[in-house]
Amino acid sequence: MKLLRHGPAGAERPALLDADGKIRDLSGIVADIAGDTLSDEGLARLRAIDPASLPEVTPARIGACVARPGKFICVGLNYADHAKETGKAPPEEPILFMKATSAVVGPNDDIEIPRGSTKADWEVELGVVIGTRAKYVSEDKALEHVAGYCVVNDVSERAFQSERGGQWTKGKSHDTFGPIGPWLVTRDEVADPQNLALWLDVDGVRRQTGSTATMIFGVAHLVSYISQFMTLEPGDIIATGTPPGVGMGIRPEPVFLKPGQVITLGIDGLGSQHQATIEARD
């Protein structure tokens, strides 16, 4: 099942994508794609509905596929070849940092280049959406707490991230730096989250090509690991790291984003995103 949210920013309505690619409105069934809707029981109730019985809609905008995530947790350097291109050794334990939830936007919304930015960068990532509360869960039970998966662009400003002192969060959290979606694809439709191809283009030039098969720490390990340090709640998002090909790793000279560019990215079976870069708004 593919779940989504449609409508103006701040007033999105829940929906699902049917087998024919039609968007069916769910606002008469559930309040939003959040909370108990993401539990196994909530998803089972939606799965039992005949999509043809729901109103078809043609939205002008697709919003973030999860409403009001409580936490946006990111994993750094989780692909050995990406760690290498950044000049860092692969980590012995997952590197965790937070992205502000105010960065979350729809998959095709504009991306702002922050004022003073010199090193804005892209990162296609597999997103994991938590469906049921997870605290101290074992790795063999971890995926039972996952509602599904989505595409994430972990947009970053490298100078803010690494040259301004402190933690990485300030380089990860500008408004619009967290496009998610278009769909939340429920875990029953993803046979193996460690066998998904990822890609990203900038202005039609392929920059990233990778596979979740090369992640250092897999999804089950990450969910279990993170749950040892904080309770994961329904709607929380984990961005699991990016394959090589980010702008800071391009040689002989790094390449960074500026206003007026177009980014397209996707993951097999999870859909694709399309963003234009613009100057930061007030």
**pLDDT tens-digit series, residues 4-36:** 999 999 999 999 999 999 999 999 999 999 999
pTM: 0.96
96-108 pLDDT, tens digit each: 999 999 999 999 9
| Rounded Cα distance, 271 and 255, in Å | 26
pLDDT over 90 (residue 49): yes
| Rounded Cα distance, 182 and 56, in Å | 17
How many angstroms separate the Cα of 41 from the Cα of each of 45, 140, 251? 6, 20, 49
Neighbouring CB atoms inside 10 A of 224's CB total 21
How many angstroms separate the Cα of 176 from the Cα of each of 21, 103, 104, 250? 27, 5, 6, 24
Q: What is the mean pLDDT of residues 189-204?
A: 98
In order of their start, the domains of the chain are: 2-57 (no CATH), 72-279 (3.90.850.10)
222-272 pLDDT, tens digit each: 999 999 999 999 999 999 999 999 999 999 999 999 999 999 999 999 999
Cross-strand pairs, 73: 98, 238
Note the pLDDT of residue 166: 83
Lowest mean pLDDT of 33-37, 89-93, 143-147, 169-173, name the range.
Answer: 89-93
In sequence order, which residues have a C-beta less than 8 Å from that of residue 60 and are 6 or more positions away?
none
In sequence order, which residues have a C-beta less than 8 Å from that of residue 84 and are 6 or more positions away?
90, 244
